[in-house]
Amino acid sequence: MNVISDKLHVENNKWIGTRTIRPDGADKVTGRACYAADNVMPGMIWGKVLRSPHAHARIRSIDTSKAEALPGVKAVVTARDIVDFPLDKSVMLGIQDMRWMCRNVMAREKALFHGHPVAAVAAINEEVAAEACRLIEVDYEVLPHVIEIEDAIRPDAPILHDFLTFEDKPSNIAGRMEAKLGDVEAGFAQADVIVERTFRTRPVHQGYIEPQACTVSYAADGRATIWSSSQGQFMVRAMTSLLTGVPQSNIKAIPAEIGGGFGAKTIIYLEPVALLLSKKSGRPVKMVMTRDEVMRATGPTSGSLSTVRIGARRDGTIVAAQGTFYLQAGCLPGSPLRGPVGCSFAPYEIPNVLSVGYDVVSNRSKVAAYRAPGAPLGAYATESVLDELAGKLGIDPLELRLKNSAKPGSKAAYGATFGKVTFEETIEAIRTHEHYRAPLDKTPRPGVKRGRGVASGFWYNAGGESSAQVNITEDGNVLVTTGHPDVGGSRASIANVTAELLGIEHGRVSVQIGDTSSIGFSNLTGGSRVTFASAMVVTQSTEKVITQLRERAARIWKIDPEAVTWENGEARPAGPNAGQFPPLTLTELAAKANEMGGPIGAGVQLNTTGADPGFATHVVDVEVDVDLGIIRVLRYTAAQDVGRALHPSYVEGQIQGGVVQGIGWALSEEYLYDRQGRLDNASFLDYRMPVCSDVPMIEPVMLEIPNPKHPQGVRGVGEAPIVPPLAAIANAVHDALGIRFTSLPMSPPKVVEALEGA
């Protein structure tokens, strides 16, 4: 796709930057890959969750006696079995508050959404477990429910949680976050043009294909083994430990191959429940969610109500920006406020910024992280307003962005002072791209209109804790173990890095993901951090291995280790000894390992830093069937600073995947509720994610500007590409129709209605 990057890599590297065969590929295409639901154990039984039929209800009592008496039922659990975290004291695991997590995995005082787990059963098979769920008698006091933000923040709204107050009154506003710079009112006073708009987005689901699933075996000695699919086996261990009271040292969490997560599998639903069922029954317990359960009771990300106001001088200099973002948390606090509050204005140098977010609870499933959590809905508002501002100022929208882009030393309202900033490069890449310059026939046929739009986006990226172990096998090959489930090609990238550093054939390196008992603590696969962080610890581990290999050769040759170099997979005498001894290959050194000091291997555990933020700029062409209101994406080009593409196919895949998810968010995906507060489209038929034929080939433009703080120059890439598409598409639709959509998705009925009202 991008010639420059490939050439750059070919010049410098043998493996880094090449499209090596992915290590997980053969297993996945032949159906051998072992996902969470594939695990089977002797004596295993099945767990099922009983879910609330009400959107909001007090639980007066639960009678499980009939279910327990049903033949084949082995165990029943309710909230009484889950560790209670009292409401007056926050206990955090990462960004998750256990007060909310314990109530999310099992309703405690109240059922807070339709589908909220109320009890769970383990039985000899799924049918008996389902029958037992029907026999559980729950006495509900049905309460009025509230779904939408506008309704939830009304003074007379049904209150979900008595303990939540806002401005000293009981409220569904669970929290507020602010980012501030300068004096925003004074800034607006200097503006010649001000644009202010209010935007709405609907909750959208992460849409991973693999439902949540786990098998848990709690043995008689009090040790538990968990097989599950997640974005972090250490999170699974820690959260399960907190919610069940079993110490972490007694839990082994084994990561299964993961069939998509996109952020949503950074929390758990089933594992603690299955553990408790296994503990009570003495049998391994398997639980697999149905698609209906996944849609109804996991994720999605927040819907939003945002108002953004931006003021500029006549020459296009932005002098002030203000954003107010209300986000749906679902039934318990925890919206990703940091996304819109921090990211919306971050790509720009604006002297006066006030960005405020509100966390609003309502009777929906609790939101989970979704790729650049919260940032896309913030950028939708900001980048739409910028588009309108560019129109009012008569400035090209990319010029406007370029004129105001953050530079090294710029201070972002969220607190950071930027070092290297590569935003301008992404704008330039689009501005000079053939796509942006290509003529667009705006009325190709009667009833069809076309338009082009641009937008940019920002994501923080992250470092954090990672561990790696690099071992040389007795036959002289290499086994690398990291602690991160691979959702975006980390194994393939790590194999490239290790082979490059050791100077050996790529096929001699195997990369595996360790369980919690075989590798040191590694934080979640999320935040666009894994390739960045694990390449760092793998590099340091490999360098230690190379030092050992040089020492071994030095010992064999009886020379100083400093006089040994490692080149092309072999130790060579250097300096005064150059040429005195034939080189020793990795295989030869491995064969002599034990007589020369023991096994060869090294591990590194780090809290990695230096993950600079990601920037992206996109251009899109759309076509609108004006009679049917259908919007199709004709062409899409996405430029991003990727630092260095260790494995370009995966980097392109990340960019394309993020864009496609953004297209779904913009055009067709939404959570729909009925009057009883029940999700009305809990299936892939009616929750309309784009299918392959809905999207064109997305062209990624990888800008490889090495991150100076990383050994290979890596920058996180997974999240930034989902940030611009919502606004880019809305801006393109505006270009086509002259109508600015301030509410997503731009579904056909909405488009027709807008056209008829125009």
Partner 1 sequence: MAEIRYLAPRTLDEAVGAFAAAQGAARILAGGTDLLVQMRNGLAKPGLIVDIKKIAEMTEIAELPDGGFRIGAAVSGAMLAEHPRFGQVWPGVLEAVNLIGSKQVQGRASPGGNLCNASPAGDSVPAMIAAGAVVTVQGPEGRRQMPVEAVPAGPGRTNLRPGEIVVGFTLPPRPAGSGDAYLRMIPRTEMDIAVVGLGVSLTLAGGTVTHARVGLGAVAPTVLLVEEAGNALLGSRLEEAALDAAAAACRAACRPINDKRGTIAYRTKVAGVLLKRAVAIAAQRAQGGN
Min separation Cβ 292 and partner 1, Å: 8
User: Would you give the DSSP letter of residue 136?
Assistant: -
Do strands 285-288 and 45-51 pair parallel, antiparallel, or not at all (unpaired)? parallel
Indicate if the alpha-carbon torsion angle 295, 299, 301, 305 is positive or negative. positive
Interatomic CA distance for residues 94 and 528, integer angstroms: 16
Which residue, 505 or 686, has its beta carbon nearer to partner 1? 686
Query: How many other CB atoms are found less than 10 A from the CB of residue 627?
Result: 11
User: Would you give the DSSP letter of residue 334?
Assistant: -
Min separation Cβ 629 and partner 1, Å: 7
Helix (H) or strand (E) holding 566: strand 564-567
Residues with Cβ within 8 Å of residue 513, at least 6 apart in sequence: 233, 255, 481, 482, 483, 484, 485, 486, 491
Which residue, 278 or 668, has its beta carbon nearer to partner 1? 668
3-state DSSP call for residue 676? coil
Q: What are phi and psi of 213, to 5 degrees?
A: -160, 150
| List 1, 93, 193, 752, residue binding partner 1 (CB under 8 A) | 752
Q: Which residues, 118 to 147, sit near partner 1 by CB under 8 A?
A: 127
Min separation Cβ 737 and partner 1, Å: 17
Min separation Cβ 446 and partner 1, Å: 12
| List 694, 739, 740, 754, residue binding partner 1 (CB under 8 A) | 694
Interatomic CA distance for residues 52 and 69, integer angstroms: 22
Q: Which amino acid is at 239?
A: M
If binding is defined by CB under 8 A, does position 693 make contact with partner 1? Answer: yes
If binding means CB under 8 A, how many residues of this protein chain bind partner 1? 24
Which one of the spans 304-312, 583-591, 639-647, 749-757 is the region binding partner 1 (CB under 8 A)?
749-757
Min separation Cβ 697 and partner 1, Å: 15
Q: Which residues, 598 to 627, sit near partner 1 by CB under 8 A?
A: 627
If binding is defined by CB under 8 A, does position 630 make contact with partner 1? Answer: yes
Q: Which residues on neighbouring strands pair with residue 46, listed in sequence order? A: 123, 286
If binding is defined by CB under 8 A, does position 562 make contact with partner 1? Answer: no
Interatomic CA distance for residues 690 and 707, integer angstroms: 34
Which residue, 57 or 660, has its beta carbon nearer to partner 1? 660
Interatomic CA distance for residues 151 and 148, integer angstroms: 5
Which residue, 42 or 749, has its beta carbon nearer to partner 1? 749
Which residue, 115 or 397, has its beta carbon nearer to partner 1? 115
Min separation Cβ 106 and partner 1, Å: 24
Which residue, 72 or 569, has its beta carbon nearer to partner 1? 72
Residues with Cβ within 8 Å of residue 374, at least 6 apart in sequence: 301, 302, 304, 325, 327, 335, 336, 337, 338, 339, 340, 341, 343, 357
Interatomic CA distance for residues 554 and 754, integer angstroms: 77
Min separation Cβ 204 and partner 1, Å: 15
Min separation Cβ 632 and partner 1, Å: 8
Ramachandran area for residue 578 (φ above 0: left; ψ -120 to 50: alpha; else beta):
beta
Which residue, 92 or 685, has its beta carbon nearer to partner 1? 685
What count of Cα atoms within 13 Å lies in the side-chain half-sphere of residue 617? 25
Min separation Cβ 151 and partner 1, Å: 19
Q: Between 49 and 78, how does the x/- string for binding to partner 1 read (CB under 8 A)?
A: ------------------------------
Which residue, 150 or 680, has its beta carbon nearer to partner 1? 680
Interatomic CA distance for residues 347 and 194, integer angstroms: 19
Which residue, 250 or 681, has its beta carbon nearer to partner 1? 681
Which one of the spans 51-59, 589-597, 706-714, 743-751 is the region binding partner 1 (CB under 8 A)?
743-751
Min separation Cβ 696 and partner 1, Å: 11
Min separation Cβ 444 and partner 1, Å: 17
If binding is defined by CB under 8 A, does position 569 make contact with partner 1? Answer: no
| List 31, 86, 439, 749, residue binding partner 1 (CB under 8 A) | 749
Interatomic CA distance for residues 273 and 66, integer angstroms: 20
Which residue, 128 or 545, has its beta carbon nearer to partner 1? 128
Q: Which residues, 87 to 106, sit near partner 1 by CB under 8 A?
A: none
Which residue, 191 or 746, has its beta carbon nearer to partner 1? 746
Min separation Cβ 688 and partner 1, Å: 6
Min separation Cβ 686 and partner 1, Å: 5
3-state DSSP call for residue 459? strand
- Cis before 300? omega within 30: yes
Interatomic CA distance for residues 342 and 415, integer angstroms: 9
Residues with Cβ within 8 Å of residue 198, at least 6 apart in sequence: 305, 306, 307, 742
H-only helix segments in 116-210: 126-135, 149-152, 184-189
Q: Between 283 and 322, how does the x/- string for binding to partner 1 read (CB under 8 A)?
A: ----------------------------------------
Which one of the spans 221-229, 253-261, 542-550, 745-753 is the region binding partner 1 (CB under 8 A)?
745-753
Min separation Cβ 684 and partner 1, Å: 8
Interatomic CA distance for residues 500 and 17, integer angstroms: 10
Indicate if the alpha-carbon torsion angle 430, 432, 433, 435 is positive or negative. positive
| List 629, 711, 721, 724, residue binding partner 1 (CB under 8 A) | 629
| List 189, 475, 628, 738, residue binding partner 1 (CB under 8 A) | 628
Interatomic CA distance for residues 269 and 98, integer angstroms: 13
Query: How many other CB atoms are found less than 10 A from the CB of residue 579?
Result: 9
Which residue, 399 or 625, has its beta carbon nearer to partner 1? 625
Residues with Cβ within 8 Å of residue 382, at least 6 apart in sequence: 308, 310, 321, 323, 344, 345, 727
- Residue 22 structure tokens: 């992915």
Which residue, 50 or 487, has its beta carbon nearer to partner 1? 50
Min separation Cβ 132 and partner 1, Å: 13
Total residue count of the chain as it appears in this document: 758
Min separation Cβ 31 and partner 1, Å: 16
- Residue 626 structure tokens: 């004006």
Q: Which residues, 380 to 439, sit near partner 1 by CB under 8 A?
A: none
Which residue, 318 or 631, has its beta carbon nearer to partner 1? 631
If binding is defined by CB under 8 A, does position 743 make contact with partner 1? Answer: no
Q: Which residues, 632 to 691, sit near partner 1 by CB under 8 A?
A: 667-668, 672, 680-681, 684-686, 688, 690-691
Ramachandran area for residue 262 (φ above 0: left; ψ -120 to 50: alpha; else beta):
left
User: Would you give the DSSP letter of residue 689?
Assistant: P
3-state DSSP call for residue 330? strand
Contact 362, 394 (CB under 8 A): no
Min separation Cβ 269 and partner 1, Å: 21
Using CB under 8 A, list all residues that contact partner 1.
127, 627-630, 667-668, 672, 680-681, 684-686, 688, 690-694, 747-749, 752-753
